[in-house]
Amino acid sequence: MNTQSEDAEVPGTGALLLDAEALYRELLLGVRALCTPQTRLVGITSGGAWLAERMQKDLKLPGEAGTISSAMHRDDFAKRGLSSGGQTLLPFDVNGAEIVLLDDVLYTGRTIRAVINELFDYGRPASVKLVVLVDRGGRELPVQADLAVARVTLPSSRSLALARDAAGVFSFHVEGQ
């Protein structure tokens, strides 16, 4: 499933040639294989939360997917402050759950460290598996996804983010120079 890609950007548009919808379909297959009756989906705000919400429906899982924010556990909180990306909402008991943590893009690992701290504020899961659409490398912490559908290379001056239109269709956008 790990699709390799280079800096596949459409010149002057900030849009990647990566097909976010095709990557989502691959991610769906991978998560389906990971699911057990104890599995609970948790998406990191905002892109990961969009993925978890849609995946919960597509997999026909009972209940709601959880949403988790990294805001309160960021090591750069003083610089960034509280983001408006959303709050943590875990509508199930975390204790003993098998958590599939979803995010759109894995980069430095700092967001993952923060959301794992947040998750453990709610209880002790049996396991946590990290699943991402895109791994762009550049890790600052020893964090690795259990499943990454694509890998891309971008300069550190650029950011990659999942976007969702009004109809719920996913795409990627690149920002920066």
Q: What is the pTM of this model?
A: 0.87
Q: Which amino acid is at 141?
A: L
pLDDT score, position 79: 52
3-state helix, strand, coil in the chain (%, to 5): 25, 30, 45
In the chain, count H helices and then E strands.
Answer: 4, 8
pLDDT band at 9 (very low <50, low <70, confident <90, very high): very low
- CATH number, span 18-176: 3.40.50.2020
pLDDT score, position 146: 98
